[in-house]
A and B are shown apart, each in its own frame.
Chain A
Amino acid sequence: SAVISQKPSRDICQRGTSLTIQCQVDSQVTMMFWYRQQPGQSLTLIATANQGSEATYESGFVIDKFPISRPNLTFSTLTVSNMSPEDSSIYLCSVRGSRYEQYFGPGTRLTVT
């Protein structure tokens, strides 16, 4: 299994500002994923980030709002831009294991006021 850390673990931000979330993995992985989970809801995939290529975004998510970087095989960032209260959520980084399973980071709890 992979050990994943995320920074920050939580933050309170003002609307209109941006927050960058970092995801660090203890091993090299090809596929990394970013999810959002709003209170009481299921996981929603934001994008897939493969090293060396542009991130692939799911319907309803755009690069201008959620830019992603993937500079190497152990690290990725997700930025939530021009935040509004609707962006208040838990943001989760996830990586693919060796048999299609996925492992999740501890999450970043974002509150936008």
Chain B
Amino acid sequence: QKEVEQNSGPLSVPEGAIASLNCTYSDRGSQSFFWYRQYSGKSPELIMSIYSNGDKEDGRFTAQLNKASQYVSLLIRDSQPSDSATYLCSPETDSGNTPLVFGKGTRLSVIA
């Protein structure tokens, strides 16, 4: 059973601060990693993909990957109330032959 662990939160940060979301996974063979954002009552939306160790930046979002530690994180700079959502971490498994495995998600609340 492939496992994805995330702190369920809620994680509360003040507006303008950096939000740090963490995820660990069990499948050492995973090569691709995805972060999804899910607003209450909406479906998950892909916001970041990362395929190699290190950092990947996209606007206010930075994904960080450390395959040796089986750890992936998402940083949100200058957090806004509109960032309040549940963030799901998902590693690819089985070379893409099986569906993505999703963590339970971290609920982020950005306080104005």
By CB atoms of chain B within 10 A, which of A43, A94, A103 has the most? Answer: A43
**Chain B contacts of A99 at CB under 8 A?**
32, 49, 51
> Contact: A102 with B46, CB < 8 Å?
yes
Contact with A along B28-64 (1 / 0, CB 8 A): 0000101000000011111001010000000000000
Contact with B along A51-73 (1 / 0, CB 8 A): 00000000000000000000000
Interface secondary structure of B, over-half rule: loop
> Contact: A92 with B102, CB < 8 Å?
no
Residue of B with least CB distance to A102? B100
Query: Out of A42, A94, A100, A104, which one reaches B96, CB within 8 Å?
Result: A100
Query: Out of B32, B42, B44, B49, which one reaches A43, CB within 8 Å?
Result: B44
> Contact: A42 with B99, CB < 8 Å?
no
Residue of A with least CB distance to B4? A42
Min CB–CB distance B104 → chain A (angstroms):
4
Give the A-B contact count at a CB cut-off of 8 A. 48
> Contact: B99 with A103, CB < 8 Å?
no
Verify if B21 is at the interface (C-beta below 8 Å from A): no
Could you list 26 A-B pairs, sorted by A, with CB under 8 Å?
A33-B99, A41-B104, A42-B102, A42-B103, A42-B104, A43-B44, A43-B88, A43-B102, A45-B99, A48-B98, A90-B43, A96-B96, A96-B99, A99-B49, A99-B51, A100-B32, A101-B32, A101-B34, A101-B49, A101-B100, A102-B46, A102-B90, A102-B100, A104-B44, A106-B42, A107-B42
**A-B pairs with lowest CB-CB distance, top 5:** A100-B92, A100-B96, A104-B43, A42-B104, A107-B43
Report which A residues bind B (CB closer than 8 A).
1, 31, 33, 41-43, 45, 48, 90, 92, 94, 96, 99-107
